[in-house]
Amino acid sequence: MLALLPRIAILSIAAGSLVAQDRPNFVVILSDDQSWVGSSVLMKAGDPRSRSDYFRTPALERLARSGMTLTDGYSPAPFCCPTRRSLQVGQTPARHLYQKDQEAWPATYRRQLNIPKVLKAADARYRTAHFGKWDHRFDRPAPEDMGYDLSDGDTGNGTGGGRGSGGPAAAADPKLIDHITGRACAFLEQQAESRNPFYLQISHYAVHLDIYYRQSTLDMINPWSFGKKHYMPEFAAMTADMDASVGRVLDKIDELDLAGSTYVIFLSDNGGRGTIPGAGAPPMPRNHPLRGAKGSMYEGGIRVPFLVSGPGIHPGSVNRAPVTGLDILPTLADLAGYPAGLPEEVDGGSLRAVFGGGNEVNRNREFLLFHQAVGRRAQTAIRLGKWKLVKTWANDSIELFDLGDDLGETENLVKENREQANRLHRAMADFLVEVGAETRKTED
């Protein structure tokens, strides 16, 4: 019996390693200011308007072919910082940013359950890393403060060349794409060798302004024929450089034989800009067929490219369930085996069923809600099924749209569907009161 003890110990260690290997890995790639139509991926089957008429993004097309295109994917907010905070805690910015007691919310935010805490509670072997743009502002918590093992620190737009005063120009490492991708690939190699499960977030500075790109990429693009909504070669080059980074990461995952255990999620932090300095006015709006742009609660401000691949996801599949970046934390908790229930304050839901082809997301509330105020134009949007209501608080205006028939939000149906509008308005107002959200634009 004593002679068997060392062997039993070895088998126990091996079993522990197998548990770690059985946990899925996660790679979240976040682009910046990328429009729903800002790639060459067809975001809505059968609708050629739902992709760029100029940009080419073969790596994102590859990701879509290998996994699922989520046609109705949303960022948590139409601006950078609130989305980036929301992704970490699975909460709408109405809870943790646009508050009547805004001075108090930073401390509250730091105490929330977040991605590193969820995964490390599921399995202490999880390793977590964030490379690229962090941009939390305000109380400026660094990634390590939130539990990340590795990061680039407390970075913002300026770190990646986005101060609003430079470009378009060629650069040796435009938007720090080589730096970000190199660190990401090194992290993947380390985890493959250690056999630890992991979470890796790659947060690009592209395609946020300023515009920087490789000269060789611009030279490749210059002969391309212009589109009607997209036609600026320098912006197309910046987009292509970011796409090449996605391709390098996918290659590394394949090279390390991690594809069978790794979910890759791609989305943007908000919708695309409506204008580009120096580009002139396009013949067609840049986010066509969507209405609005970054900063707006119309679809152009919050609907974003949303792609996912991984175990059990059917290649080339398309799903029209409304999903949001708030769903990432609950999805990770579900797939990694988080041992406790999620708090009521988590607004997202697990996408496990959606990844399997279902069209329902089990959230604490049946609707998606988007809200901003406090230094921003006070505006709220709520979506339930095909219906979407937008309220602009300054003039107390309400608009109701049927997104199934009117993707461009051109026809306000409040008069014809007063009961539906009232239902959504009540749900929206009750939620904002519950979380103590501000509904006015106030001083920063």
CA–chain centroid gap for 68, Å, is 15
Q: What is the mean pLDDT of residues 99-114?
A: 88
Give 11's pLDDT tier (boundaries 50, 70, 90): very low
Q: Which is more confident, 149 or 101? A: 149
Radius of gyration for the chain, computed over Cα atoms and rounded to the nearest angstrom: 22
Asked whether the beta carbons of 383 and 321 are under 8 A apart, the reply is no
Handedness of CA 77, 80, 81, 85 (dihedral sign): positive
In sequence order, what DSSP letters do the residues of 26-76 get, joined into one string? Answer: EEEEEESS--TTSSSS-SSTT-GGGS-SS---HHHHHHHHHSEEETTEE-S
Residue for token digits 């589109």? 227
> What is the C-alpha to C-alpha distance for residues 41 and 32, in angstroms, rounded to an integer?
17
Yes or no: say if 197 and 24 are a contact pair by the CB < 8 Å rule.
yes
The dotted CATH code for 369-435 is: 3.30.1120.10
- Is the pLDDT score of 7 beyond 70? no
**Whether residue 5 has pLDDT greater than 60:** no
**Which range has the worst mean pLDDT, 13-17, 168-172, 231-235, 378-382?**
13-17
- In the prediction, which pLDDT does 25 show? 98
Architecture of domain 24-364: 3-Layer(aba) Sandwich (3.40)
Non-local CB neighbours of 234 within 8 Å, separated by 6+ positions: 167, 168, 211, 213, 218
DSSP state of 323: E
Which uninterrupted H or E stretch holds 118?
Answer: helix 115-122
Q: In degrees, to the nearest 5, what angle opens at C-alpha 287 toward C-alphas 405 and 386?
A: 25
- b/e code 391-400 from CB counts within 10 Å (16+ = b): bebeeeebbb
Confidence class of residue 163 from pLDDT cuts 50, 70 and 90?
confident
What are the extents of the domains in the chain?
24-364, 369-435
* Torsion angle of C-alpha atoms 85, 168, 55, 318, degrees rounded to 10: 0
For residue 6, pLDDT over 80 is answered with: no
What average pLDDT does this structure show over 158-180?
91
pLDDT in tens, 199-245: 999 999 999 999 999 999 999 999 999 999 999 999 999 999 999 99
- Residue-wise pLDDT tens digits, 401-420: 999 999 999 999 999 999 99
pLDDT digits (tens, 9 = 90+) for 30-56: 999 999 999 999 999 999 999 999 999
Average pLDDT value over all residues in the chain: 93
What was the pLDDT predicted at 443? Answer: 53
The predicted pLDDT at position 165 comes to 66
Q: Is the pLDDT of residue 21 over 80?
A: no
- What is the DSSP annotation of 269-287? SSPPPS--TTS---SS-TT
- 441: pLDDT confidence band, cut at 50, 70 and 90? confident
Among candidates 19, 24, 25, which has minimal Cα distance to 11?
A: 19
